[in-house]
Structure 1
Amino acid sequence: MINFFRRIRKKLADDNKPLKYARYAIGEILLVVVGILIALQINNWNEQKKEEALEQEYYCRLLEDVDLDLEQINILIIESKVRLKASNQATRLLQKPVAYKIEIGEQIGKSILSIYSDFRPNDAAFEDLKSGANINIIKDKSIIKALNYYFNKVEGYISIIKVNGENAVKIFYAHSDVFENGWVQSSMSLTTGRFYRGMDKDLYQAVDLDKSETFSSQMQKRLYNESLQYISHNSRQLDLYQSIKDEIIILKSYLETKCANTND
């Protein structure tokens, strides 16, 4: 294309001998200017393409983090349901006239198992996005707004989950005699539990466990009250996890649309 323009310019210059060199010089300058403008345009186009590709990459990375959040919250929801079921079963057993330490202790132990575990959102992509000037690469500012809302909202839920879990654990460990509340009996009845793994064999065998041992009426009443509290705590925990899941699904739907454009 440049050679074509040069031939035209040279022919025009040759038609007027006195102005030959002047025309040639001006034409050469114009040719250089046009070339520079074309090069700048191509460079800008390439940079724009790179930014668009990086933007799409971030959308997909953010989506990957959200997918990990969804996997994590689904596990926490399942665990919460198991705890809620156990706390209901403990309450049911404690309503009976006779309450056995081993079976009730086992259900109460399950009622608080991992209740202190909190949700930790995956924010690697978002933190990387905010760490430099890359935040400006995201053209759709509603996505940034949605991300900020998501992390702030989840942080609020996490703080409540933590307090809720702490309260349940405090109730469980408020007992000064772990033989009276059935904790030792239920733990040592399991051949895969902490006592079986941690105690020397001779000590383990020396502990005399009565599988038919029951609670005193006073302890049974106390545990009945506590099991009701465990139901409340686990139900609340389940509601909070579900609320986080709802936020994840909303954000996931936004990012899925953006990431899908990568292959368009």
Structure 2
Amino acid sequence: MIKFFRHIRQHLIMKNKTSKYVKYAIGEIILVVIGILIALQINTWNEQRKANMLEAEYYCRLFEDLVQDQEQVETLIKQTEDRLKASNQSLRLLQKDNPNKIEVATQIDLSTKAIFIDFKPNNSAFEDLKSGANLSIIKDKNVIKALNAYYNTLESTKSIIKINGQNAVDIAFAHNDSFENGKTASSILYGKFKDGLDADLIANIKIDTTATLSETMQFRFYNESLRNAAANLRQLELYNILKEHTLKMTELLEQKCDTKYD
């Protein structure tokens, strides 16, 4: 193609057709300019397409993180509901005359099981976005605003959950004698000691499965069970708040992830 244009220029010069040569030269310049503009447009389009693909990739990564958050919250809600059932059952047992030590202690242990578990959001995509100038990748600033609100809510709610759980754990470990209240016997028969201790050791530990709580311990456990029920109700409320926020963000990001960016 270059040789073709060079041949035309040489032919016009040799024929001394200056005016036609000037017109041809101008036309050639215009063609070159048009070619450059087209190339720039194609390059701009390619860069925009890459940016759009990166934005879509981040939306999908954020969505995947939120799906994992949602699954984690659902698990924590189920655990809290189980603890609340145990709190109710311990109260039910304590309302009887001469409640059995091991039965009550078992339900109280279940009512605080994993109550101090920390909710850990999956925020790798968001942390990646916040690094450097990556936030500019997301063109929809409402999404950035929603993400900031979401993770701020998580942190504030998490702190309340941890304090609430710590209070319940502190009450559970405030007992001076776990043999007296039946918790040790419960752990040996049904809890952590059952699988951790050798069978011959367990066989040599005397456990009275018919022992009942003293009036003082019954009153103490009754108060403890009420506080555990209150703690679990509060945890359930907080986890449902997290669930609501997680669902909203998941729906928003799913739509963004499904959108085609060409």
TM-score by structure 1 length?
Answer: 0.91
Change (3 A) 1:212 1:37: same
Change (3 A) 1:61 1:12: farther
Retained in 1: the 8 A contact 2:73–2:242? yes
Whole-angstrom distance in 2 between the partners of 1:213 and 1:188 = 15
User: What amino acid does structure 1 have at the position aligned with 2:111?
Assistant: S
Partner of 1:45: 45
Partner of 1:259: 257
Whole-angstrom distance in 1 between the partners of 2:61 and 2:154 = 19
Whole-angstrom distance in 2 between the partners of 1:263 and 1:26 = 40
Change (3 A) 1:9 1:155: farther
Task: Flag structure 1 segments of 5+ consecutive residues without an equivalent.
Answer: none
User: What amino acid does structure 1 have at the position aligned with 2:215?
Assistant: S
Whole-angstrom distance in 2 between the partners of 1:147 and 1:253 = 12
Whole-angstrom distance in 2 between the partners of 1:138 and 1:202 = 64
Retained in 2: the 8 A contact 1:105–1:186? yes
Q: CA deviation at 1:120?
A: 1.2
Retained in 1: the 8 A contact 2:119–2:158? yes
Change (3 A) 1:110 1:25: same
Retained in 2: the 8 A contact 1:13–1:19? no
User: What amino acid does structure 1 have at the position aligned with 2:254?
Assistant: E
Partner of 2:209: 211
Change (3 A) 1:14 1:122: farther
Change (3 A) 1:13 1:128: farther
Whole-angstrom distance in 2 between the partners of 1:162 and 1:251 = 23
Retained in 2: the 8 A contact 1:13–1:20? no
Retained in 1: the 8 A contact 2:112–2:169? yes
Retained in 2: the 8 A contact 1:13–1:21? yes
Q: CA RMSD in A?
A: 2.7
Whole-angstrom distance in 2 between the partners of 1:126 and 1:138 = 11
Whole-angstrom distance in 2 between the partners of 1:137 and 1:238 = 36
Q: CA deviation at 1:189?
A: 1.6
5 Å-filtered alignment, 1:11-22, equals: 17-22=17-22
Q: CA deviation at 1:13?
A: 8.9
The alignment partner of 1:262 has SS state of: coil
The alignment partner of 2:69 has SS state of: helix
Change (3 A) 1:7 1:171: farther
5 Å-filtered alignment, 1:62-211, equals: 62-190=62-190, 193-211=191-209
TM-score by structure 2 length?
Answer: 0.91
Task: Flag structure 2 segments of 5+ consecutive residues without an equivalent.
Answer: none
The alignment partner of 1:47 has SS state of: helix
Partner of 1:28: 28
